[in-house]
Amino acid sequence: MKKSKLIVSKIVTAAIIGAMVFCLPAKASVAYAENDDKAKTEAAADAEKSETEKTEEKTEEEKTEEKTDEENAEPLDEQLSDYDRAIKEAADARHALQKDPNHVHHFRWIAKMNESESAEGTINYMCDECDKVWYFRPYPAYYCFQGDIARQIEVAPKDFTVKVKTSLFISFNKQVMEALEKRPDVSLSVSFLRKQYVGDRLSFTIPAGEDTMSLLDENGYAGFIFLGNKYGMTLEVKHELDEEEAEAEETQAEAGTSETKEETDSENTDKQ
């Protein structure tokens, strides 16, 4: 009996020891796993914090650079030419009237060009004193060009030179000449292409105080070549002819020579 109890006791003891041996590595593994997870979490947090600090530092650097650029950049008004600044100041003064409660609008139709000369612009029912537009509709490009230039002359600062640059149009109509007549203090400088879209770029200036209405032909137009010949033409850019243009000009010149020769022969025959 004693022997049986001793055997049972040994078996129980061995089972307890085995259980302890089995459980200890598991607990240690769990502990190690928890430590690893904690270490990884802390490392990730440190990396995220480091990245955040770098981003904040970069953002601060960018802000500093932007601030420096803004400080170094010239104000918009200082970047404008004297001509553009004068135009802007005059326009700002007109627009300020829109906020004046005592201002009374005087609406009439005024044409405005499109950014593209070849595209139709608009004719605006607008106040000629503050530029407030009540209504507008499409309008042909050529008449928008004329109306736009006339408007520039009308609202130009005192003793001003309005500058016009075109690559399409080669004449003014009565509207522009009338505007110049009403503003004898304003001169008009024009830069244009001899043959619409192509040809030499030429320029001339109509001085202030000219009798501009007398410049119109019987149809109410004044061509740029005519005006340039009258007031002094300046060659700005020489147009280099390509082969097709050169051949066309040569053919035209030969045709003109033949016609002149035929006319001369005809005159000589008539005299005989």
pLDDT, tens digit, 9 for 90 and up, residues 6-39: 555 666 565 555 555 444 444 444 344 444 555 5
Residue 205 lies in domain: 82-257
Residue 23 lies in a domain: no
For residue 206, give Cα distances in angstroms to 178, 182, 199, 226, 268. Answer: 13, 14, 22, 12, 43
| pTM of the complete model | 0.61
Residue 216 lies in a domain: yes
Instruction: Count CB-CB contacts under 10 A for residue 148.
Output: 18
Residue 36 lies in a domain: no
Residue 63 lies in a domain: no
3-state secondary structure of 50: helix
For residue 24, give Cα distances in angstroms to 18, 235, 245. Answer: 10, 101, 100
Residue 12 sits at the vertex; the CA angle it makes with 7 and 16, to the nearest 5 degrees, is: 150
Number of domains in the chain: 1
Residue 265 lies in a domain: no
pLDDT, tens digit, 9 for 90 and up, residues 48-60: 655 655 555 555 5
Residue 271 lies in a domain: no
Residue 58 lies in a domain: no
Rg (CA), the chain: 44
Residue 62 lies in a domain: no
